[in-house]
Chains A and B, each alone.
Chain A
Amino acid sequence: MKALLYKQLRLVAHPMTFVFLFVGVFFLIPSYPYTVAFFYVTLGLFFMFMNGREQRDAAYNAILPVRKGDAVRAACRFSAAVQLLAMVLAVPFAFLSARINPLGTNRGGLDANPALFALGFLLFAVFNVVFLPVFYRSGYKGGVAFVAASACMVPVVLCDVILPHVPGLEWLDAADRASCLRQLPLLAICAAVYAAVTLLSHRRAARLYEKVDL
């Protein structure tokens, strides 16, 4: 698995996959739906999977001593690592955002707070559960998989825009210490959902690809 992950890093990953790791800078834009930043991470991953297809990664895997399913699991784990790293790298920008933008002035959606990161986890979970199985059902239909995943991610972005305006949920749109503490359980739940959904998606993608004749 280590060798497969290294292969993913050295040969398959697209430069934009790494550029979009720093989408936390979006949090510095005043009045913007910040979940779009996490969407860009999935766009970088889409580029990576397409790059693998165009560079005929499957033909390279065929000469290696690996099972088809293992190659898929490695690509999926690398993808999850990118998502988690993007999350971690976004944290400093969330703090910076709170300093630059006076609290509560983001008219585009949630402030950069734990609730936003919770939505980020949900967005990644939706991407993983839709994109990975649809892509690996054929091993090459990346466009269809990304359109389907994007359509399913739209409601998550809409939640980001709508939630601050729902009466009684204003605490989700605050970045003060007390509100952040109140949002932490939500973040933990969404992280757990992400972990479970991602693991299941990886298994399903590997199972589907095992059935594909190359």
Chain B
Amino acid sequence: MNMLEVEGLRKEYPAFTLQDVSFAVPQGAIVGFIGRNGAGKSTTLKSILGLVHRSGGAVRWCGQDVADCEKTFKENIGVVLGGVDFYPKKKIRAITDVTKRFYPNWDEAKYQHYCKLFSLDGEKRVDQLSSGMKIKYLIALALSHNARLLILDEPTSGLDPVSRDELVTLFRSIVADGTRSILFSTHITSDLEKCASHIVFIKDGAIVHSGTVGDFMAAFADRGSTLEDIIVSIERRELDESAIV
């Protein structure tokens, strides 16, 4: 069963176009959304969340158009758009106290459990958290309202290798029972190799490939033997040396 389906998504900007983006996030899957900077990953995620207006296409949550079930959709997802960069001077406790009022199925015991697990101190201000802790805090919020799908925009970018490894391990634990899914964008191929079950590869606003990791490796076997080799081989552009003056 697909939790999220994106079909023919289009967004036109004066200098960039997202062209007929289609992919699905199956239940229990970790879908890595990969592409180089500016490929259209964030625009796609924002279009799914309704933060930017689609020029066309459809987004479905459990088979239902999100336009018809926006509240249900948003109550069932957890969103991490590049860490907590809001209310930097507010204490975590204050932000949680506000956030939980938006979710009828908020589970306080679960929240306390994740705070302990991630060593989150409610008395700390947002700007006192490291980048990794900010991501963990948002994941704790999402899991405490029983989000079934986590949408994360480059959650591992800017983190040290140990923190990235911790997060990737956490992602695997989150989907382990098969009820939750994760869609995360990244340009770090090693993170995908460690945890992704599916890959959606976007280049210049268009989907190049969407499917399981095995399908992807088979489809591009002639380009390389690792994800990184394949992506670099497809994305590499010859440098015009005469451009350097």
Chain A contacts to B: CB under 8 angstroms: 2-3, 6-7, 10-11, 55-57, 59-60, 62-68, 211, 213-214
If A10-B97, A55-B88 are given as contacts, then 4 extra A-B residue pairs at C-beta distance below 8 Å, sorted by A number, are: A55-B87, A63-B78, A211-B53, A214-B51
B80 nearest CB neighbor, chain A only: A63
B74 at the interface (CB under 8 A from A): yes
- In angstroms, Cα B101 to Cα A68, docked, is 17
Between A and B, 28 residue pairs with Cβ closer than 8 Å are: A6-B101, A7-B98, A10-B98, A11-B95, A55-B86, A55-B87, A55-B88, A55-B89, A56-B86, A57-B87, A59-B81, A60-B95, A62-B51, A62-B79, A62-B81, A63-B78, A63-B79, A63-B81, A63-B141, A64-B99, A65-B71, A65-B74, A65-B103, A68-B50, A211-B53, A214-B46, A214-B51, A214-B52
Which residues of the partner chain A approach B102 to less than 8 Å between Cβ atoms? 3, 64-66
Question: Which residues of B from 62 to 115 have beta carbons under 8 Å from A?
Answer: 70-71, 74-75, 78-81, 85-90, 94-95, 97-99, 101-103
B-side interface residues, number (CB < 8 Å): 30
B47 nearest CB neighbor, chain A only: A213
Which residues of the partner chain B approach A6 to less than 8 Å between Cβ atoms? 98, 101
B100 nearest CB neighbor, chain A only: A3
Closest beta carbon of chain B to A214's beta carbon, Å: 4
Which residues of the partner chain B approach A57 to less than 8 Å between Cβ atoms? 86-87
B49 at the interface (CB under 8 A from A): yes
B138 at the interface (CB under 8 A from A): yes
Which residues of the partner chain B approach A7 to less than 8 Å between Cβ atoms? 98, 101
B87 nearest CB neighbor, chain A only: A55
Count chain B CB atoms within 10 A of each CB in A60, A62, A63, A68 and give the residue with the most. A63
B83 nearest CB neighbor, chain A only: A59
